[in-house]
Amino acid sequence: MSRNTDNSGISRRDLLSGVGAAAALGVAAGAAALPAARVTSWSEETDVLIAGSGAAGVSAAIAARGAGARVLLIESLSRFGGASAMSGGVVYAGGGTALQKKLGFEDSVESMIAFLSLAGARHLPLDKIQLYSEQSAAHFDWLVAQGVPYTEKFTRAKGLPMGNESLYFSGTELAWPARDLAPPAPRGHVPGVAGMNGGRTLMQALLSRAGDLGVDMRAGVAASRLVVESDGRMAGMLVTVDGQQHSIRARRGVVLACGGFIHNREMLRRYAPELYDCSVPWGNAGDQGDGINMGIAVGAEALRMHHGFAIAPVYPPENVLSGIVVNSAGQRFISEESYHGVLGDAIAYHQQGRAWLITDQRSAFPGPQDNFLAVASGNSIGDIAGQLQLPRGALQHNVAYYNRHAANGDDPLFHKSRDYLRPLQGPPYTAWDLSVDQAFFPAHTFGGLHTGVDGRVRNSFGEEIPGLYAAGRTSAGLPAAPYIASGLSVGDCTFFGRSAGRDAAGLKR
Ligand SMILES: Cc1cc2nc3c(=O)[nH]c(=O)nc-3n(C[C@H](O)[C@H](O)[C@H](O)COP(=O)(O)OP(=O)(O)OC[C@H]3O[C@@H](n4cnc5c(N)ncnc54)[C@H](O)[C@@H]3O)c2cc1C
């Protein structure tokens, strides 16, 4: 792949004319895919071509190489690892992993399936949930075998462990209604390193494994278009290196693992307006939706495009969970101890993006913090309600109702557990702004290409597009809104990335 010459083997006219290419393919005008017949000579060839070096792409590469294929993995940015390397590295795993057993926790595949299928979004892909849960313990063993380090330490504290503990309740398992739907078990498996370094540690292990296996990995190479045979099979990709186009033939399959689209404002506006106003786009700069758009251009179906992770990370500290969260009608709408992805979802998707945390003296944030600004304070709930311009009497009425029952250890509306339930009493009272555009309110996308459990991409008739695979946030996988537990995304990326890589490697033409 020369950096100085355009050796793509395709005419300049074809490169500039997505419309002509699309017409020849029978896809919508303007769709950027190229018929293979127009590639006169390929710059190079491989068996499996993977775009994206995050958890999904690298897991696919390890699996494809392990299955004996020659693998080329390209990354558009100058560094490998994607959002996965920025992440906490939490993998949601259960059903009796080695670590759960070692630390004395009982779990079952059935409990995990019940949690994943009942505690969040409806009509999720049950085939993926079942397979993921059944093979979760083995998948954890695989991560260990790749060199991801875990410690035999558990923490009960809510939130990503900042010590080196490797097991915790990473989701909403203990909050109502989840705790009544499935027996809770800690399933957040985190690399055993202190601080927010789990993702980096996990990706270092996977990247080093891929290198050892002989995966050809190249940074600064951006996938730009799929190249398609006349019968609809994937032939390869056009890629861009230093502004030059090259064509790479993939004999067995192409895997799109380019992450989601949280950094593509126009796609967000079109597909996921609820996430558009969230204050912090959580991802790396490459999460522009390239893989999803390339897939759509060859007829792939995209699913759950408006779903995403919208996060209101009010804890730690846990004492604030004794406060209450209210909407612009002055009403509670959730158990405050819910996982912060569930709370964030409720605010972003169901409360027009506006909410406040109301605390008393004991439940206030202990020190200055800039994630959530204090926007009202006073010696009575009425003072707060007036400053927030809530409907007259509503907040006072709702706090009185909450207090009356909390004094008896009861929360008739949302069954907040007694760990956090007590009357709000003792000034000063404070209202902290949890609005999506004012608070520290990170978000990333979950919508993506429709894939089977083998990673094969499907069109809207449910038919497979031969030789095309997608994984991670380029696909619509396990994570959906509401996001019920940390670790479902990286868990999905690594598990179904492996499936895609395996299947692509075995796809003989
Ligand atoms: C701060 C933070 C903490 C998080 N913590 C967790 C957690 O603990 N657990 C969890 O499950 N989830 C977590 N997430 C979410 C999780 O990190 C992502 O959803 C997940 O890593 C996505 O992985 P991926 O492989 O699909 O994409 P990515 O890791 O983003 O990788 C995609 C790669 O593809 C590259 N790319 C894009 N376009 C092209 C192109 N055209 N050609 C070539 N390459 C391209 C990108 O540059 C990128 O490197 C967190 C996210 C953030 C930001």
Q: What is the CATH number of the domain that holds 325?
A: 3.90.700.10
Report how many domains make up the chain.
Answer: 3
Going from the Cα of 365 to the center of ligand 1, the distance in angstroms, rounded, reads 31
Kindly give the number of the ligand 1 atom that is closest to the alpha carbon of 284.
30
Going from the Cα of 260 to the center of ligand 1, the distance in angstroms, rounded, reads 7
The helix/strand/coil state of 15 is helix
47 and 171 in a single domain? The answer is no
Q: Is residue 454 part of a domain?
A: no
Kindly give the number of the ligand 1 atom that is closest to the alpha carbon of 474.
26
Q: Is residue 261 part of a domain?
A: yes
Q: Is residue 6 part of a domain?
A: no
59 and 205 in a single domain? The answer is yes
97 and 169 in a single domain? The answer is yes
73 and 152 in a single domain? The answer is no
pLDDT for 14: 45
pLDDT for 507: 54
Q: Is residue 49 part of a domain?
A: yes
Going from the Cα of 283 to the center of ligand 1, the distance in angstroms, rounded, reads 6
Q: Is residue 453 part of a domain?
A: no
296 and 218 in a single domain? The answer is yes
Please indicate whether residue 90, judged by its CB atom, sits closer than 6 Å to ligand 1: yes
Cβ distance 109 to 180 under 8 Å? no
pLDDT for 275: 97
300 and 432 in a single domain? The answer is no
Cβ neighbours of residue 107 closer than 8 Å, sequence gap 6 or more: 94, 95, 96, 97, 100, 183, 185, 187
Pocket perturbation via mutation, ligand 1, pick of 73, 84, 167, 200 by most ligand atoms within 8 A of CB: 84
Q: Could you give the CA distance from residue 34 to residue 9 in angstroms, rounded to a whole number?
A: 12
Pocket perturbation via mutation, ligand 1, pick of 50, 72, 76 by most ligand atoms within 8 A of CB: 76
**Residue identifier of the C-alpha nearest atom 19 of ligand 1:** 489
Q: What is the largest CA-CA distance in the chain?
A: 78
pLDDT for 18: 37
Give which of 92, 46, 315 is closest to 198, Cα–Cα.
Answer: 92
The helix/strand/coil state of 75 is strand
pLDDT for 32: 80
Cβ neighbours of residue 270 closer than 8 Å, sequence gap 6 or more: none
Q: Name the pTM for this structure.
A: 0.94
Spacing of C-alpha 67 from chain mean position: 27
Going from the Cα of 334 to the center of ligand 1, the distance in angstroms, rounded, reads 29
Q: What is the mean pLDDT of each run of 10 residues along the chain (509 residues)?
A: 43 40 35 86 97 98 97 98 98 98 98 94 92 98 98 96 96 95 97 96 98 98 96 96 96 98 97 96 96 97 97 95 98 97 97 98 89 96 97 98 98 96 96 97 98 97 97 97 97 98 80
496 and 434 in a single domain? The answer is no
436 and 346 in a single domain? The answer is yes
Last residue of a domain, one of 153, 181, 196: 196
* Domain with 409 in it: 312-440
Please indicate whether residue 399, judged by its CB atom, sits closer than 6 Å to ligand 1: no
Going from the Cα of 67 to the center of ligand 1, the distance in angstroms, rounded, reads 24
Cβ distance 369 to 315 under 8 Å? no
224 and 253 in a single domain? The answer is yes
431 and 317 in a single domain? The answer is yes
Q: Is residue 416 part of a domain?
A: yes
Last residue of a domain, one of 155, 174, 196: 196
pLDDT for 368: 76
